[in-house]
Structure 1
């Protein structure tokens, strides 16, 4: 569809009005777009380094996953958690949560994690941590809630390009309008991206520009005169600035290759991203509640399921992410038991694959617009950015989630397990109101939990001339050599390349044809990166898109083959090259939009990883400003030694931000012990 035709099909209100003069100009040394965990971690480290940080966030809470998105159950792996091997700011967050709840890190007594808590408290605790970091580091935090980036001013500087300014829109309720968070996001998001005031919002237009340069005694004599005066960090949930800056990125499934051998598509599919979820909170009650079936419920009733027989237990589902426990001495939940596990007053947050996961996967309903879709709808034109998301999918996800609550309390069907499994559970209520855990009048999270958005393609690099990426084979524990699927599915050349990649210390002999194919031993560790600046550890965990549109239709199935790549992963690293986009020299990426493949992204998305990548971004930005060196210059000579990179890595480690796991070495083959 051409851009002109697409714009004709849009309602007039969807096309941005010309901007008026900005209401204020704000200077920053580091501009962070996105107040989720990656954005907060970026700000935290930059503030401790004494920098002036501007941070924007579409909601009015910091914390992303643990607050505005409602997934306040820390996803952690056993070994890393037992060693408390995390970045310093993440450790401080855990300690502050424990103090806030008077010594209890898990006030919900959930069993999905060792820490489940109220989302509203996640915001309070984390904002206090940011303010403390600013005070300790003598930095300055300029916090812009309810704010979206609308435009980027990018100009050529030297051999590259730099962002010289950004225009943002901050909104507050219009006179006589409903308060913020009275309406779900689908009813406000388009308004938030328009310049003009509306019946809902009054807008303030904010122009962000670099702060005047500070002289630095440690600046290198080799630094170029065009060294940036500020850094812009995309820590948004879907890679908004990545799209606005129009840097190369991927979306959805990557083509099958020896680096991504479990891909469910030979050619790739940009429309199939992982499902996103509107969470909500529900509370157990003494007496049965009256539940009215929503008008839209029949549209979604054919989707809901406990999913697996071993999960077909309401107490199990309720306590899985229970965020407030009224009876901490209760007995352990027993799977398949329908009584005795839930106490009146308990509050549970719901995040369930065959419940409130919305999983579109076609060109007619995909949630995050591709570049071609952005171009055809005009959003890449100056001043026309509208967030890059499909509003209709947001609305349907909201309905799916509210319908899921009705299914939990009143439903008697199960799409995957059949009749006779689901029983009504009327002694529960859906929590709504500004003083409830989600802080919204409608009861849904302020923003959906995003598992996958746009993922940059890093700059051409040693070993990856098409652009740096962290691939499936870099982290997966999959035993590709014993699984006949890979031998039969991959071409002989592709399979041999896979063997060579995973041969570890035997690689030289194998590539030189001295070692027969059947004698190759698969290495038992992740890829070790010379430019590591952070760490993470989590399983490759999929919430696959659905095959047909709409995804909630009865009888629909998950995209075939999507779960093949799922499974355990080795402890992995965050390479700096994965955070540096092409084209823009003063931009860094933190969080879910770093350069990972579709399969690898399924592990590079949880809480502690987001923090580690943000800590790396904040430290790198402060370091680059101090040294007068651009991030790409820290890695452009790899695999040769990079002295400035080594200084950055040393600073990260000395500051309590690990860049490697204990005993990391190509000679260490004991990574199987990491659970």
Structure 2
């Protein structure tokens, strides 16, 4: 088959060239790149909003220091630019904010672009809109995968259940993409995978435990969004289990979790943060820089998604703030391959609800009093009835057993003995984040390892056996340890984008992903295709930045 791009194809019934299951950032970017390549796509998503951690999970972008200059794909920059343009077009920005080239609507310190989830939804929907209209994209939402048909090492179909109607829909395609938050297609299709922590003997990683544990995964968090109306009382009803959560204190925490005290993620020193919803900071004075400072010393500012002073006076009553802090990390158990998954989800949300009540009633104030009753949940911001995110923030997934698995020695500055970027001959993108693992369901404290900028190896996206199933999220070939560097927004988007282009490339040439990686001429051609479409394959010299 020639390398010529075929005429654009359309979705026919329940069949498309590429079926993407999961509409998080990886799923959206996989769909977009396959559509740009002329292919038809069916995209499914469990929740009401596309965008995953950015939208339904309500987590503001978490990015590396150089994101404004380099270190992402062109389409990820389109997403970021679209968010800024949305604020410029629709919000009454102050003159100072409108003059900001790199506008940060939330002026949060976790990222140089903190924004509300609904804006992310609007931009994503706009990016997909032309392909919906052309008939080349069909979206099934809300829907979850429940079954799959497999013939040997090929997926034939995936069946999803509509959560609104109960209808089962069987989807057929040539290539299937698992972009679910926890790798749901892997057990359904019999794809080999690993979950939880591997042993040090298996991976050779100095930060790995002596004994592996499939149920030892990073904490999930059920985030919520608040503002603060001084003089009003928005205190929720006291949770029935509040006393239980109020007393909960992991051995390594140094204080009850319902407090402002917790281990410092990088040093493990027990530190007490501040929290003041009335703080009158200058939103243009500080610039987020994850290399120098995690930014979480003042929690009100840390993950703020809309700063009152970025807008004209009187536009909003209060800053709007995301609560995604250590105190809501749920370590009671894993939801992956667990009969108690639903129980843990309920408990995770209960923990977050207890934290809100503690903030409203017991949190220390600068004036010596306790409690901030003016804290108000914002269901209009999260798109829910209760102000909590539509979905829990998932940090760790099942992971394919891949042709190549990224291990700590690939990324760790200490193990490598230098801070040069990690390179691979089969690079299909770039990423950067510290190896940052939150406390785990196995009782581990934070694991934080200084890491280098890295490339995304194609081998980490290819299962050891399956021929037409690709991962597009946290389910790639990493370990429990290196997942901590791969799990954030720009890397997930970059993985999905590479997978979408790969799916279309394979269909155009009647080949398969494994052959692309292992055939030098095909790999060179594919990497050229990526570069031509704005995918950075290598890092520049970052020593001067």
Asked if Structure 1 and Structure 2 have the same fold, meaning a TM-score greater than 0.5 normalized by the shorter chain, the answer is yes
Distance 2:135 2:499 in 1: 16
Q: Helix, strand or coil: the match of 1:652?
A: helix
1:56 to 44, 48, 55: 44
Q: TM-score, normalised by structure 2?
A: 0.83
Distance 1:542 1:205 in 2: 37
User: Which residue does 1:464 correspond to in 2?
Assistant: none
Q: Helix, strand or coil: the match of 2:160?
A: strand
**1:394: Cα distance to partner?**
0.3
Q: Helix, strand or coil: the match of 1:591?
A: coil
**1:310: Cα distance to partner?**
5.2
**1:119: Cα distance to partner?**
1.0
Q: Which runs of 5+ in 1 are unaligned?
A: 1-23, 173-201, 211-229, 331-342, 378-388, 415-419, 460-467, 481-501, 503-521, 548-557, 664-670
Distance 1:624 1:423 in 2: 61
Q: Helix, strand or coil: the match of 2:351?
A: helix
Q: Helix, strand or coil: the match of 1:30?
A: strand
User: Which residue does 1:74 correspond to in 2?
Assistant: 61
Distance 1:299 1:312 in 2: 24
**1:42: Cα distance to partner?**
0.2
User: Which residue does 1:524 correspond to in 2?
Assistant: 419
Distance 1:46 1:266 in 2: 42
| C-alpha distance after superposition, 1:281-328 (max 9, x if no partner) | 111103131523111211211232322535233352112111122223
Distance 1:141 1:273 in 2: 34
**1:523: Cα distance to partner?**
3.8
On the 8 A contact 1:36/1:63 being kept in 2, the answer is: yes
User: Which residue does 2:18 correspond to in 1?
Assistant: 30
User: Which residue does 1:339 correspond to in 2?
Assistant: none
Alignment of 1:311-330 (within 5 A): 311-315=273-277, 316-328=298-310
**1:134: Cα distance to partner?**
6.3
| C-alpha distance after superposition, 1:471-512 (max 9, x if no partner) | 0110112x24xxxxxxxxxxxxxxxxxxxxx4xxxxxxxxxx
Alignment of 1:387-398 (within 5 A): 390-398=341-349
User: Which residue does 2:488 correspond to in 1?
Assistant: 606
**1:269: Cα distance to partner?**
1.5
Distance 1:278 1:470 in 2: 28
Cα pair distance change 1:253/1:535, threshold 3 Å: same
Cα pair distance change 1:546/1:144, threshold 3 Å: closer
Distance 2:68 2:120 in 1: 22
Q: Helix, strand or coil: the match of 2:163?
A: strand
User: Which residue does 1:301 correspond to in 2?
Assistant: 246
2:461 to 573, 579, 584: 579
1:207 paired with 2:170, answer yes
Distance 1:447 1:430 in 2: 16
Alignment of 1:615-626 (within 5 A): 615-626=497-508
**1:264: Cα distance to partner?**
4.4
User: Which residue does 1:537 correspond to in 2?
Assistant: 432
Q: Which runs of 5+ in 2 are unaligned?
A: 1-11, 89-97, 248-256, 263-269, 278-297
Alignment of 1:105-120 (within 5 A): 105-120=103-118
**1:89: Cα distance to partner?**
1.2
1:593 to 467, 475, 481: 475
Q: Helix, strand or coil: the match of 1:656?
A: coil
1:456 paired with 2:400, answer yes
Distance 1:429 1:276 in 2: 23
User: Which residue does 1:145 correspond to in 2?
Assistant: 141
Distance 2:26 2:243 in 1: 38
Distance 1:256 1:421 in 2: 48
On the 8 A contact 2:377/2:386 being kept in 1, the answer is: no
1:271 paired with 2:221, answer no
| C-alpha distance after superposition, 1:33-59 (max 9, x if no partner) | 110000000011011111100000000
1:39 paired with 2:27, answer yes
**1:133: Cα distance to partner?**
5.9
**1:582: Cα distance to partner?**
2.6
| C-alpha distance after superposition, 1:347-373 (max 9, x if no partner) | 1111011x221123xxxx32211xxx6
**1:421: Cα distance to partner?**
9.5
User: Which residue does 1:171 correspond to in 2?
Assistant: 163
1:644 to 498, 517, 522: 522
On the 8 A contact 2:47/2:56 being kept in 1, the answer is: yes
User: Which residue does 1:261 correspond to in 2?
Assistant: 205
Distance 2:212 2:435 in 1: 19
Alignment of 1:354-393 (within 5 A): 355-360=327-332, 365-369=333-337, 390-393=341-344
Cα pair distance change 1:645/1:35, threshold 3 Å: same
Distance 1:97 1:106 in 2: 10
1:85 to 65, 71, 74: 71
Distance 1:83 1:422 in 2: 45
Distance 2:369 2:429 in 1: 44
**1:526: Cα distance to partner?**
4.2
**1:30: Cα distance to partner?**
0.5
**1:107: Cα distance to partner?**
1.8
1:233 to 177, 198, 207: 177
Distance 1:595 1:205 in 2: 31
Distance 1:631 1:525 in 2: 29
**1:260: Cα distance to partner?**
4.1
Distance 2:199 2:272 in 1: 34
User: Which residue does 1:250 correspond to in 2?
Assistant: 194
| C-alpha distance after superposition, 1:151-194 (max 9, x if no partner) | 111013xxxx211112111122xxxxxxxxxxxxxxxxxxxxxx
On the 8 A contact 2:181/2:397 being kept in 1, the answer is: yes
User: Which residue does 2:516 correspond to in 1?
Assistant: 634
Deviates more, 1:449-458 or 1:262-271: 262-271
2:321 to 342, 348, 356: 348
Tell me how large the CA RMSD over aligned residues is: 2.4
Q: Helix, strand or coil: the match of 1:154?
A: strand
Distance 1:262 1:413 in 2: 40
Q: TM-score, normalised by structure 1?
A: 0.68
**1:583: Cα distance to partner?**
2.5
**1:579: Cα distance to partner?**
0.8
Distance 1:272 1:475 in 2: 22
Q: Larger radius of gyration, structure 1 or 2?
A: 1
Distance 1:527 1:247 in 2: 28
1:409 paired with 2:396, answer no
Distance 1:440 1:630 in 2: 41
Distance 2:483 2:469 in 1: 21
